[in-house]
Chain A
Amino acid sequence: MNEKLSIFYDKHYKKILIIPAVLIILSLVYLGFFYSQQGDIIYKDVSLTGGTTVTIDSNMSISDLQLKLIGQFPNLALNSLSDNSGKQTKIILIVPEKPDQILPVLEGILGYRLTQDNSSVEFTGSSLSQDFYNQLVRAVIFAFLLMAVVVFLVFGQSKKIKSYCIILTLASTRLTFPSSRFLSVMVIILVIVTFFYALYISKEKKYYLYSLGSLFAFILLYIFPYYYLILPLIVLLVIIYTRVSIPSMAVILSAFADILMPLAVVDLIGMKVSSAGIVAFLMLIGYSVDTDILLTSRVLNRKQQPVNNAISGAFKTGVTMTLTSIIAVAVGLVVVYSFNSILNQIFTILIIGLAFDLFNTWITNASLIKWYVEKTGR
Chain B
Amino acid sequence: MIAFILFSLIAIFSIPPQFMEKGVIVKSVDKNSTIFNQGLRAGDTIISINGNNINNFEEYTKEINLFKDSFLDSNETKKLSIKTKNLEIISLFSKPDFDNVEVQNIPATRIKTGLDIQGGARAMVTSQDHKLTTSELDDLISISQERFNVYGLTDLVIRKASDLSGNNFMIVEIAGSTPSDLESLVSQQGKFEAKIGNETVFSGGSKDITYVGRTGQDAGVYDCFTSQEGEACDFKFVIYLSEEAATRQADATANLSLNISSGGKYLEKQLELYLDGNLFDSLNIGEDLKGKVATQIQISGSGIGKTRQEAIDDAKNNMKKLQTVLITGSLPFKLEIVKIDKISPVLGDKFARTIFFAALLTIVGVFLVIFFRYRRIKISFAIVGVVVTEILITLGLAALINWNIDLASIAGIIAAIGTGVDDQIVIVDESRRNKEDSLKQRIKNALFIVFTAYATAVVSLLPLYWAGAGLLRGFAFTSLIGITAGVFITRPAFADMARQIEERELENQ
Contacts and interface: CB of A to CB of B under 8 A. Distances in A.
Interface string A297-317: 100010000000000010011
Interface in B108-154: 116, 119, 121, 124
Main secondary structure, interface of A, reads helix
A90 to B, nearest CB: 10
Contacts of B445: 297, 301
B166 A275 contact: no
Nearest to B357: A335
B351 A329 contact: no
Contacts of A150: 452, 455-456, 459
A286 B468 CA distance: 20
Contacts of B119: 116
A42 to B, nearest CB: 16
A332 B358 contact: yes
Interface string B453-467: 101110111111011
Contacts of A301: 445
B467 A327 contact: no
Interface stretch (B43-51, B232-240, B337-345): B337-345
Chain A contact-residue range equals: 35 or more
B411 A346 contact: yes
A343 B407 contact: yes
Interface string B353-376: 011011001100110011001000
B383 to A, nearest CB: 9
Interface string A333-371: 001100101110010000000000000000000000000
A135 B408 CA distance: 17
Interface centre among B343, B373, B418, B419 (most CB of A within 10 A): B418
Nearest to B121: A116
A128 B362 contact: no
Contacts of B343: 116, 120, 122
B58 interface: no
B448 A297 contact: yes
A200 B132 CA distance: 45
B370 A177 contact: no
A73 to B, nearest CB: 19
B116 A341 contact: yes
A125 B339 contact: yes
A331 interface: yes
B297 interface: no
Given A276-B408, A279-B464, A336-B358, A316 B429 contact: yes
B347 interface: yes
Interface stretch (B61-69, B318-326, B420-428): B420-428
A317 B419 contact: no
Contacts of A136: 467-468
Given A183-B466, A286-B419, A342-B407, A146 B459 contact: yes
A142 B468 CA distance: 14
A136 to B, nearest CB: 6
Contacts of B475: 279
Interface residues of B, number: 76
A132 B471 CA distance: 10
Nearest to B410: A343
A320 B339 CA distance: 42
B163 interface: yes
A274 to B, nearest CB: 11
Contacts of B116: 341
Given A135-B165, A321-B421, A331-B365, A289 B464 contact: no
B433 interface: yes
Contacts of B341: 120-123
A131 B457 CA distance: 25
Given A128-B339, A138-B467, A293-B452, A335 B433 contact: no
B294 to A, nearest CB: 44
Contact of B369 (A127, A135, A178, A327): A327
B464 A332 contact: no
Given A139-B463, A313-B433, A339-B354, A324 B408 contact: no
A282 interface: yes
A35 B445 CA distance: 44
A115 interface: yes
Interface string A266-281: 0000000001100100
A335 B466 contact: no
Given A297-B449, A325-B421, A335-B361, A135 B468 contact: yes
Interface in A108-124: 115-124
A283 interface: yes
B298 interface: no
B346 interface: yes
B477 to A, nearest CB: 13
A343 B475 CA distance: 11
Nearest to A147: B456
A294 interface: yes
B335 interface: no
B165 A178 contact: yes
A179 interface: yes
A182 B343 CA distance: 33
A310 B163 CA distance: 46
Nearest to A57: B346
A180 interface: yes
Contacts of B346: 57, 117
Given A123-B341, A143-B459, A324-B366, A276 B411 contact: yes
Given A125-B336, A183-B466, A336-B355, A279 B408 contact: yes
Contacts of B469: 132
Given A117-B346, A123-B340, A282 B421 contact: no
A117 B344 contact: yes
A328 interface: yes
A179 B338 contact: no
Contacts of B90: none
A105 interface: no
B379 to A, nearest CB: 12
Contact of A128 (B124, B183, B410, B466): B124
Nearest to B428: A317
B180 interface: yes
A320 B373 contact: yes
A147 B461 CA distance: 10
B339 A289 contact: no
Given A124-B339, A321-B421, A329-B414, A286 B358 contact: no
B167 interface: yes
Given A116-B342, A125-B338, A328 B166 contact: no
B164 interface: yes
Pairs of residues from A and B, 4 with the lowest C-beta to C-beta distance, nearest first? A146-B459, A335-B358, A143-B460, A139-B463
13 contacts: A100-B183, A125-B338, A131-B165, A135-B163, A183-B164, A275-B471, A276-B472, A283-B415, A287-B415, A328-B365, A341-B351, A342-B408, A342-B411
Given A131-B167, A154-B452, A179-B164, 17 more contacts: A116-B342, A119-B344, A120-B347, A123-B340, A123-B341, A134-B165, A136-B468, A143-B461, A147-B456, A180-B466, A276-B407, A282-B464, A286-B456, A320-B369, A327-B369, A328-B418, A346-B411
Interface of A: 55, 57, 99-100, 115-125, 127-128, 131-132, 134-136, 138-139, 142-144, 146-147, 150-151, 154, 177-180, 182-183, 275-276, 279, 282-283, 285-287, 289-291, 293-294, 297, 301, 313, 316-317, 320-321, 323-325, 327-329, 331-332, 335-336, 339, 341-343, 346
Interface of B: 116, 119, 121, 124, 163-167, 177-178, 180, 183, 336-347, 351, 354-355, 357-358, 361-362, 365-366, 369-370, 373, 407-408, 410-411, 414-415, 417-419, 421-423, 425-426, 429-430, 433, 445, 448-449, 452-453, 455-457, 459-464, 466-469, 471-472, 475, 479
